[in-house]
Amino acid sequence: MEFPFIIAMNLIAWAAYYAGWSGGGHPERFAVAVLLMHALIEVLFREWHVNGIDVGIAAGQFLLLLVFGWLALISDRWWPLAAVAILILIMLVHALTMATPLSYFSATSARVGLWTMLHLTVLAGVGGRWLAGEARVSRLGRRAPSGRTPG
């Protein structure tokens, strides 16, 4: 039964999206926007199968790997590099599905666990910003009502 794990993964994903958008910096917001766009676009290509292999999902996740690789190169954050490592592992699961008799359920189970790790990595990145005392992007340009600085 994978159903409880998928529910847990989705709850963690939405927590990461909320935390990344409301409490993150520019890299975290960019990552949340890219992850949400990926989730929306992936629905369109979910049914693209070649010999039982999810080529639509694999292609979308490869593009996601490229975007996070670019983010890791231009960002001064640690978590995009960890996200790239997790996405490489996801791509390895796709490659193993093509090269070995790995069952669909085993591959799906591995990807669910790795996606959970990816979302936990985004949460940890936002938590690191919070622990460092960095201001949220949503508060950087605002003025306080009575001339006080926000914070």
Tens digits of residue pLDDT in 30-70: 999 999 999 998 888 877 767 767 788 889 999 999 999 99
> Which residues are CB-neighbours of 41 under 8 A, at least 6 positions away?
60
Whose structure tokens read 């676009």?
A: 41
Tens digits of residue pLDDT in 94-107: 899 888 888 878 88
70 neighbors 87 (Cβ within 8 angstroms):
no
Burial profile 103-135: b = 16 or more Cβ within 10 angstroms, e = fewer: eeeebbebbbbbbbbbbbbbbebbeebeeeeee
- pLDDT score recorded for residue 136: 76
How far apart (Å, rounded) are the C-alpha atoms in residues 39 and 60? Answer: 9
In DSSP terms, which residues pair with 54 in a beta bridge?
A: 49
Q: Which ranges of 24-103 would DSSP assign to H, the alpha helix?
A: 26-45, 55-74, 79-99
pLDDT at 144 over 60: no
- pLDDT score recorded for residue 120: 96
The pTM of this model reads 0.84
150 neighbors 144 (Cβ within 8 angstroms):
yes
- pLDDT score recorded for residue 52: 66
126: tokens are: 């936002």
User: Count of CB atoms within 10 A of residue 9's CB?
Assistant: 21
- Which strand (E) or helix (H) includes residue 54? strand 53-54
How far apart (Å, rounded) are the C-alpha atoms in residues 81 and 11? Answer: 23
Measure the CA angle with vertex 107, ends 63 and 51; round to 5°.
75
